[in-house]
Every structure is written in C-alpha cells, then in structure tokens.
Chain A
Amino acid sequence: MLKEAVLTIKDLSFRYDLRTNDYQLNQISLDFNRGEWVTVIGDNGSGKSTLARVMIGLYPVERGIIQLDGVHLSEETVPLFRRRIGMVFQNPDNQFIGTSVEDDVAFSLENQNLTRSDMKRRVKEALQEVGMWQERKLDPQQLSGGQKQRVQIAGLLALQPEIMIFDEAFVMIDPAARRDLLELLHRLKEKHHLTIISISHEREALVYSDRIIQLKQGTVFRDGSLTEIFAADESLEPPMVERLNRALTARGRGISESYLTEEALVNFLCKSN
C-alpha cells in the first residue's frame, strides 16, 4: 500500500527556556503516514512527551514546521489541529471533566458547538465502539483504570479524528486491561483507518506498531520496524514475541513480522504443528 504522510515535521527544535541553549527537541524531521501505528520510545528526558505536546500545539513551535495535510501549525490553526488530532494522557484520573461517562465524552463535542441530537448520536456510537455504553451514567470515579482510558478513547472517537496520540496512556493500568485496550485500539485503527502515535515504554504496545521511532537527547536516533529497532540495539529488551522470533530464527524457523500479536503468534504456532 502506498504510504501517504498525514502529519509532517520538518527541522523541529524546541526548548522550554528560551534563555538557554538546552534544546529538548533538536532538528527533528519525521513523517507520520495515514493508517500507521507509530510508537515513540526513548529514555526519560529524550523528548518523547515534549514532541507529542508540540505536535498538538500545547507548546509553541520555536523553530521548524509541523504540517497536517499541508496545513501549518500556528496559533490560528491550532483549533483545526485539535479537531483532527486527539490525545490521551497518562493519568486517567486527571482527564475527566464530566461528572458522568457520557458527559465527559460529550465535552469535546460541546466545544464544537454541535446540536444536541448530533452529540447524542456521536456519544452513543463512540461509547458502543469502546464497550462502555452500559456504564454511560456512572461517575468516572467508579471505573477501573482501563475503563477510564476507554472512555477517553471514546471522547476522541466522538470527535472523529484522523490521528490519536497516546502519551504513556497505558502505564497506569493493569496488564490484562492493557492488552484489551491495545486490542481495541488495533481494531479501531483498522476500522477507521486511524494514525496512532503512541509514546510508550510498554512492550505490549510495541507489538502493534508498524514503525518504531527511538529518540535520544531530543533527536531521532532510530526509525524502523520492530525487528529492525531491536536488532540494532541489544540493550533494548524486546517484547516476548520478538524474543521468540529470534530464538526460532536461530533454529531456522523464524516468524514473519505479520505474526507479532499474541493471538496471531498462537495461530502460527498451532498451524506449524
């Protein structure tokens, strides 16, 4: 399939303190393609979260260009970027504005000044897609971490964005809920042809990535597929499927990259026997 860049970054530099020369992002150039799942990895302080926040206009672009389908990010175009790019943050408790699940999903739609009937339809569709329609009247405090992040995803879906950014959004939830959430995102990505940019340390999240970008001291250190990235850096601990792939390859029975999810791996191994 032909790759079509939806979000383009050219020579982006950013520093928190304009009086110093300490750049958190230094001449970064990247293309994010439509329908692609990109995971950004890197050590603490490598600039991952800063990059995400600059991309959505939370921090101003000091030097360089960010384009969404050819539109430059500027003070005037920020609202457009925020309609087309959604973001979920790390702490699920600090993201709820509404006092019920459906109120929270509707909040972004209220900001778009949509009619009540349109909002009701979109809220229902979004909550059904993430499997939270039954819980629509609940207080967010009553939900588990995984459910809270599902509601945040519903909030993004209701806005019908093209790009979803997850800033360490899978950290504060238990492993089983995390796997379910990643599966759900994978399905949504395929269904809506979404571009997903995930800032993550979680190895499970890497499995779903079409591409991994490794940042180091504010620059792009590596950019490639999961196999390429982990083959290039022995210090990185790869996900279980990749370790298994390596072990099988060593014995002349490697798995292709399309067998990277747990379910696909089980299917592959069962077929092999």
Chain B
Amino acid sequence: MNQLIFGRYFPGDSFIHHLDPRFKLIFALIYVGLLFFLESTFYYLLFFVLTLLLMEQTGVKLAIYVKGVKPLIWLILFAVTLRIMTTSGGDVYLRYGPFAISSFGLTLGLQTFLRFVMIIFISTVLTLTTKPVEITDALYFLLKPLKYIKVPIEDLSLMLSIALRFIPNLLDETDKVMNAQKARGMVFGQGSLINQMKALVPLVLPLFQNSLKRAEDMADVLEVKGYQSNQKRSHYRELKWKKQDVFGSLFLLMLMVVVFVFQQ
C-alpha cells in the first residue's frame, strides 16, 4: 500500500521545490493542455525530453517516477492498443476485420503513449515537489474568485487539506488491518476475482468504521477550535511570488509560442 507514489511529497532543495505552488499548479495544467495540441512526433519527443529534464531537476530518482506509471500501465496500454487498431492510413501492415495495424496507427499509438506518460510524469513532478498543504493553498488562491458566486472555497480547501493530511494515516491503518486479518488466516490477492473481492470485506469494514470515528472526532475538534462555515478567516501561511517564478512564467510562455506559433 505504501508503494503508491502519486500524491506523495518528497522533501528536497531543488529549484522546482522552491517555486511558488501557484506557479507549479498553473504550469502543470498548461503543460498538460499543450500536450493535446502537439501534432508531430518531433514535438512529442521534444516535450518528452523536456519532461525528463524537469524530472531530473527535482533530484528525485527516475525509478520513483516509473513506479508512479506502473499502476496505470494496463490502462495506458489498452488506450494505445485501441488507438493503433482503430487508426487507418499510411502503410497497412496487418488487417483483421475492422481493425488494422498501419504506419499512421503506430505513430498515433506512440504519441498517445508519450502523452499519457508525460501527463503522469508532470503531475508527479508537481506532487513530489509540493507539500499537499501548498497545493491546497494554491488551489484556494486560484479558486478564490468563485467566492463571489457563493462557492464555499474555504470549506472545500479545508476539506481537501484534511483529506490529504489523513492519506498517510489511512495507508498505515490499511497496512495494520491487513496484517491483523492475515494473522487471523485471511489471504489477500489469491483465488478467483469474486473470492478476492470477498476478502476485501474484512479489510474495508474496519477501515470505514475507523474513518467514520475519525471524522466524528475531527468535527468536534473543528468546532472546539472555532471553525465556522462561511466565516471570515485569516491565513497564517503566506505564498510569495519570487524571481524564479517570473523566469518560470517566461519559460512557460516560450513553450506556448513553440506550440502555437512554431509548430504551425
């Protein structure tokens, strides 16, 4: 359970670690958006190299990023295969009914694969180098205008912050409950799909029970600490837009020019 990489923060001292979370969030969103406007394999490869350079800059080992892709590899391969089989054009190497493997299909398949991997890598760069609470602060800042149309941004950002704060607890607890059930003779991950699903019941029930108890405790703590929905609150943590964020923004602008001007 503790093998999950996506959503985890790795403390570090890299240039990316020190960037403002608001910038990192905007960068990740626009970067992912740009990937959908890439047209040729050359640009895909260019962005892939750029993504690798960004990953290298974080100081986190490549193996950790690869670990982040592993849980989604079947989904990616399924999408890539579908793309290859359903695209026709160029030289056709193999045909079976409505499906075909063509040079266009293979090119699009490679592009789809690279796009998926880059989306995962760049989101992982964001989460590995940004504390969950900083992501929440950035989201709060960026969504603040929605306050004017009565969207409860304070409540949503607190909910997100508490949820992120309890992820490690939940993972640890899952490990403990699994071990406790294994000690009672429970076997996980073996047998038919139905049996495997049945085996999850004694794991999920205590987890739900504990989570509900924790939520109840947390509600009491929030009340006692004076939290009220829709109240005016000040903020202890301060987000500071620094010189490196300006440089980062210029770099992002340059990428947009490359995609929307040079690529044409």
> Could you mark each residue 218-256 of chain B with 1 if its beta carbon is under 8 Å from any beta carbon of chain A, else 0?
101111111110011111111000000000000000000
Contact A111 B228 (CB under 8 A): yes
Q: Is the CB of A141 within 8 A of B224?
A: no
Q: When chains A and B are docked, how far (Å) is the Cα of A103 from the Cα of B161?
A: 12
Q: Which of A76-104 contact B (CB under 8 A)?
A: 79, 82-83, 86-87, 89, 91, 93-100, 102-103
- Chain A neighbourhood of B227, CB < 8 A: 107, 111
B21 at the interface (CB under 8 A from A): no
Q: Once the chains bind, are A58 and B233 in contact (CB under 8 Å)?
A: no
Q: Judging by beta carbons under 8 Å apart, are B165 and A99 in contact?
A: yes
Give chain B nearest CB distance to A35 CB in angstroms: 22
Residues in A lying within 8 Å of B, measured CB to CB: 53, 56-58, 79, 82-83, 86-87, 89, 91, 93-100, 102-103, 106-116, 119-120, 123, 141, 155, 159
Task: Determine chain A's interface SS by DSSP, over half rule.
Answer: helix
Top 8 A-B pairs, shortest CB-CB distance: A106-B236, A94-B217, A111-B226, A99-B133, A108-B225, A87-B224, A113-B234, A110-B233
Beyond A97-B222, A99-B131, A107-B225, whether A89 also contacts B233 by CB under 8 A is no
Known: A93-B169, A94-B217, A94-B218. A79 touches B226 (CB 8 A): yes
Q: Is B228 in contact with A116, judged by CB distance below 8 angstroms?
A: no
CB pair B236–A109 under 8 Å, yes or no, is yes
A111 adjacent to B168 (CB under 8 Å):
no
CA distance A188 to B197 in the complex (A): 54
- Contact B232 A97, beta carbon cutoff 8 Å: no
* The residue from B221, B228, B235 contacting A95, defined by CB atoms under 8 A apart: B221
Chain A residues contacting B237 (CB-CB under 8 Å) are: 103
Q: For residue A98, which residues in chain B have a CB less than 8 angstroms away from its CB? A: 133, 165
A86 touches which of B132, B224, B236 (Cβ 8 Å): B224
How far in angstroms is the closest Cβ of chain B from A176? 25
Interface residue B110 (Cβ < 8 Å from any Cβ of A): no
Evaluate whether A97 and B225 lie within 8 angstroms (CB atoms) in the complex, with A89-B220, A103-B133 already known: yes
- A141, B168: Cβ atoms under 8 Å? yes
Residues 124-145 of B, flagged 1 when their CB comes within 8 A of A and 0 if not, give 0000000111000000000000
CA distance A204 to B168 in the complex (A): 33
Bound-complex Cα distance A114 to B236 (A) = 9
Give complex CA distance A124, B103 in Å: 65
Contacts of B221 in A (CB 8 A): 89, 94-95, 97
* Given A100-B133, A103-B133, A108-B226, 14 more pairs with CB closer than 8 A: A57-B223, A83-B226, A89-B221, A97-B218, A99-B131, A99-B161, A103-B237, A107-B227, A109-B234, A110-B236, A111-B225, A111-B228, A111-B231, A112-B234
Contact across chains for A95 and B236 when beta carbons are under 8 A apart? no
Docked complex Cα distance between A87 and B218 (Å): 13
Counting CB contacts under 8 A, is B162 at the interface?
yes
Q: Please state if A116 and B217 are interface contacts (CB–CB under 8 Å).
A: no
Q: Which residues of B contact A96 (CB under 8 A)?
A: 165
B132 touches A82 (CB 8 A): no
Q: Identify the closest chain B residue to A85 (Cβ).
A: B224
Q: Whole-angstrom distance from the CB of B35 to the nearest CB of chain A?
A: 31
- Set of chain A residues within 8 Å of B220, measured between Cβ atoms: 53, 58, 89
Q: Which residues of A contact B131 (CB under 8 A)?
A: 99
Pair A82/B217 contact, Cβ less than 8 Å: no
Contacts of A87 in B (CB 8 A): 224
B contact residues around A56 at 8 Å (CB): 224
In the assembled complex, B176 has its CB within 8 A of some CB on chain A? no
- Beta-carbon contacts of B147-165 to A below 8 Å, as 1s and 0s? 0000000000010011011
CA of A100 to CA of B132, assembled, Å: 11
CB distance from A141 to the nearest CB of B (A): 6
What distance in Å separates the Cβ of B139 from its nearest Cβ neighbour in chain A? 14
**Residue B214 interfacial (CB < 8 Å):** yes
